[in-house]
Chains A and B, each alone.
Chain A
Amino acid sequence: MIRKTVSNVSEALAGVQDGMTFMLGGFGLCGIPEKAIEELVRLGIKDITCISNNAGVDDFGLGLLLQKRQIKKMISSYVGENDEFERQMLSGELEVELTPQGTLAEKCRAAQGGFPAFFTPAGYGTEVAEGKETREFNGKMYVLEEAFKADFSFVKAWKGDEAGNLIFKGTARNFNPVMCGAAKITVAEVEELVPAGSLDPNQIHVPGIFVQRIFKGEGYEKRIEQRTVRKRN
């Protein structure tokens, strides 16, 4: 067994520097690497390029890094829940590259799987395709999209073991699995860290080979963005 455990978040983030590109898992606030984000705020790392489907809300998730002006560029598919983000983007303080959600996921998976690029129909004929190669296959037009290149991936899983194997819960899985192994170093934070051999190998979502460092995060807030309920009859 190759051990991936580190003792805490600061050890997990050793080597992060200004100007780096980070991938961050999560959809909305669901399944975001809360502890890695807190540590990036504490370290005051600047000029970050973030690859993340969303940008958090004003006072949580990536919104915390936006408040401190630590982000230079965001690569996302949807940023509608964050007023500070919209302000910084419209005023030109923040560089933004909006990417279709499926393309964003596939650019991660391509990086993970060793593909330099792929063709997708998403965005053909729109400003997303401007300056990109397009090609026809079987009578339909496609856009050439390139794999991401990133320094660190920060992901959050439900359970993990010492070997770096990960299991996710519910829709907190989202972008996390495809970001594992898609950057030079993948840092996984988990709610529950167990000894190797405790997880059933049949149930592993992400094999440990894609993870370089794993640690147990303490005190997850797991904030709900839209609490919707129904009444009992």
Chain B
Amino acid sequence: MRKESNNEPYEKEIKMLDKNGIAKRIAKEVKDGYYVNLGIGIPTLVANFVRDDISVEFQSENGVLGMGPFPFEGEEDADIINAGKQTITTLPGASFFDSATSFSMIRGKHVDLTILGAMEVAENGDIANWKIPGKMVKGMGGAMDLVSSAEDIIVAMMHTNRAGESKLLKRCTLPLTGVKCVKKIVTNLAVLEIGPEGFILLERAPGVSVEEIKQATEGTLIVSGDIPEMKLD
């Protein structure tokens, strides 16, 4: 039975996506036949929203291709984890391999799409996500290898940091992870593409205005014509 329009006011109120919303939007970028590397955090959630009528294999750089969901309680295996050190399972057709082979898949451009998080992205495609000098040094893990080689890189992140400052900048202020490598960014407010002159606004999150996106973007924002709302389903 079709629902009446009484849920419309609720939909209008949706402003900004949550982490699952971002993951849901990015999942639409994953195409049939893709090998995909998912970073830690929001990118990991993308796997939950990929259409089940397409064939996709997830690679984890610690040495597994064909990653499946988390194991059932009691079936965890300390020897089978993902790059986030979480216990996982494998799907039919999966394989295990050593770290050098894993990065041959990445460096050799055999992985089709990389989805990762960021602290800052600059309008020329630079990305910073591994270090805050004097405060936090976790390391780059596989991020530098991934961003320097991937054919297609999508950044999943919040548009602003906890202090409300824009994470989409003219120039990154933090130590770089890679230069001119980001292609697309999906935030809680918008979908953007890196163009020759800055961030090209492609889509707005449901209920978010172009003006609000402008306010939250420090780098050059290019808006041309009507900007459609994201479609999540």
- B-binding residues in A (CB < 8 A): 27-31, 53, 76-81, 86, 89-90, 96, 98, 100-106, 108-109, 120-128, 158, 168-178, 205, 222-232
B85 touches A128 (CB 8 A): no
- CB within 8 Å of A: which B72-90 residues: 72-88
Given A76-B139, A171-B64, A171-B79, A226:B144 Cβ within 8 A: no
Query: Which residue of B has the minimal Cβ distance to A82?
Result: B138
Measured in the bound complex, the distance between the Cα atoms of B99 and A223 in whole Å is 21
Interface code B137-156, partner A: CB below 8 Å = 1, 0 otherwise?
Answer: 11111111100110000000
| Residue contacts A-B, CB under 8 angstroms, 16 given | A28-B81, A78-B141, A79-B139, A86-B137, A98-B130, A102-B61, A102-B103, A102-B142, A106-B103, A108-B100, A122-B148, A123-B148, A126-B178, A174-B98, A177-B98, A226-B81
**B61 partner residues in chain A, CB cutoff 8 A:** 101-102
Partner pick for A120 among B86, B97, B107, CB 8 A cutoff: B107
A78 touches B140 (CB 8 A): yes
Given A53-B99, A102-B145, A126-B144, A30:B139 Cβ within 8 A: no
The DSSP consensus for interface residues of chain B is loop
What distance in Å separates the Cβ of B122 from its nearest Cβ neighbour in chain A?
Answer: 12
Measured in the bound complex, the distance between the Cα atoms of B88 and A67 in whole Å is 30
B70 touches A27 (CB 8 A): no
- CB within 8 Å of A: which B148-205 residues: 148-149, 175-179
- A-binding residues in B (CB < 8 A): 60-64, 69-88, 96-100, 102-103, 106-107, 126, 130-131, 134, 136-145, 148-149, 175-179
**A232 partner residues in chain B, CB cutoff 8 A:** 72-73
Other A-B pairs beyond A121-B149, A125-B179, A229-B71, 13, CB < 8 Å: A28-B85, A77-B142, A101-B61, A102-B61, A105-B99, A123-B148, A124-B148, A126-B176, A126-B178, A174-B63, A177-B100, A224-B76, A226-B87
Given A98-B139, A102-B106, A126-B176, A170:B98 Cβ within 8 A: no
